[in-house]
């Protein structure tokens, strides 16, 4: 599986957009980009995933660059409850497992 | 929204004892997983299970570990003879179809003394 690189921590003011970057320069054509988050010590929570097109759902937007070597997760209006560790994971279609890195610890402040 | 439930939330056991961690996946899901997270460390894949057999497992999942789907609703992880280093949060997950997102439970904290 391709490795991902994320900043260890970020801050965001409540109500503002949080833009979390991820580099995955060795991604291959059949690998998807997934985003999960972990609030405190709860189980990881799925946010969004994509292959090459930008995606949006009720939680977030995912912007993938044209060369697919990086992506950005956007939380459009961050709230205090979005404080969590955010994981960017690259997963091949033919494997079951998710390989978690250390993620980005997002702190949303009032 | 349906969710994955895990019991117990916290289990304390003595070294060398057998322990069974229980999970009830989302009811129409077909793919089941166990992950673990040692305190302060990354979430690690242990095993995936589909069609009543293991489909993939990690190096961590050695002969001390086994999984079972004893009935139509439960999915269990057994550790035969626990070691101190098995202390961790154990997360169960399920997904509906191949390559669909995983839904995780909130974990069982296993403490081996």
Q: What span, in angstroms and rounded, lies between the C-alpha atoms of B85 and B67?
A: 19
The pLDDT of residue A97? 86
CA distance A18 to chain B (A): 22
Task: Please name which of B51, B40, B33, B49 lies closest in space to residue B90, comparing C-alpha atoms.
Answer: B33
The pLDDT of residue B1? 75
Q: What span, in angstroms and rounded, lies between the C-alpha atoms of B57 and B47?
A: 4
Q: What is the mean pLDDT of chain A?
A: 94
Residue B113 pLDDT > 70: yes
Q: What span, in angstroms and rounded, lies between the C-alpha atoms of B65 and B52?
A: 16
The answer to whether residue A102 neighbours chain B at the CB level (below 8 Å) is: yes
The pLDDT of residue B6? 97
Q: What span, in angstroms and rounded, lies between the C-alpha atoms of B9 and B21?
A: 9
Residue A2 pLDDT > 70: no
Q: Which two tokens stand for residue B37?
A: 């997270």
The answer to whether residue A69 neighbours chain B at the CB level (below 8 Å) is: no
| Interfacial residues of B (vs A; Cβ cutoff 8 Å) | 4, 31, 33, 35, 37, 42-45, 48, 50, 55-56, 58, 89, 91, 93, 99, 101-107
Check residue A5 and report its DSSP letter.
B
Per the CB < 8 Å rule, is B102 touching A93? Answer: no
The pLDDT of residue B86? 98
Residue A32 pLDDT > 70: yes
Q: Which residues of A44-75 are buried (b: 16+ CB within 10 A; e: fewer)?
A: bbbbbbbeeeebeeeebbbbbeeebebbbbbb
Residue B2 pLDDT > 80: no
pLDDT digits (tens, 9 = 90+) for B32-85: 999 999 999 999 999 999 999 999 999 999 999 999 998 878 999 999 999 999
Beta strands in A14-103 (DSSP E): 18-23, 31-38, 45-50, 55-56, 61-64, 70-75, 84-92
The pLDDT of residue B39? 94
Mean pLDDT of A68-91: 96
Q: Which residues of A83-107 are buried (b: 16+ CB within 10 A; e: fewer)?
A: bbbbbbbbbeeeebbbbbbebbbbe
List CB contacts (< 8 A) between B89 and chain A: 41
B79 within 8 A of B63, measured Cβ to Cβ: no
- Percent of chain A scored above 70 by pLDDT? 98
Residue A95 pLDDT > 70: yes
Per the CB < 8 Å rule, is B104 touching A44? Answer: yes
Quick one: closest CA in A to B47, which residue?
Answer: A97
């Amino acid at each position: 599986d391709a490795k991902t690189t994320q900043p260890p921590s970020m801050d965001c003011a409540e109500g503002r957009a949080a833009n979390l970057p991820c580099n995955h320069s060795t991604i291959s054509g059949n690998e998807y980009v997934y985003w999960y988050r972990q609030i405190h010590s709860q189980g990881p929570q799925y946010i969004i995933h994509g292959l090459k097109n930008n995606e949006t759902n009720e939680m977030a937007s995912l912007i993938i660059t044209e060369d697919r070597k990086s992506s950005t997760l956007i939380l459009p209006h961050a709230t205090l409850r979005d404080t969590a560790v955010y994981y960017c994971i690259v997963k091949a279609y033919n494997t079951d497992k998710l390989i978690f890195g250390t993620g980005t610890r997002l702190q949303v402040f009032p | 929204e349906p969710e994955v439930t895990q019991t117990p939330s916290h289990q304390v056991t003595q070294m060398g004892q057998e322990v069974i961690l229980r999970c009830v996946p989302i009811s129409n899901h077909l793919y089941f997983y166990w992950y673990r997270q040692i305190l302060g460390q990354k979430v690690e894949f242990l095993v995936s299970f589909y069609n009543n057999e293991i489909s993939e497992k990690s190096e961590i999942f050695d002969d001390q570990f086994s999984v079972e789907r004893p009935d139509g609703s439960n999915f269990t992880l057994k550790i035969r003879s626990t070691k101190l280093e098995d202390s961790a949060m154990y997360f169960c997950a399920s997904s509906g179809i191949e390559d669909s997102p995983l839904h995780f439970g909130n974990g069982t904290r296993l403490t081996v003394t």
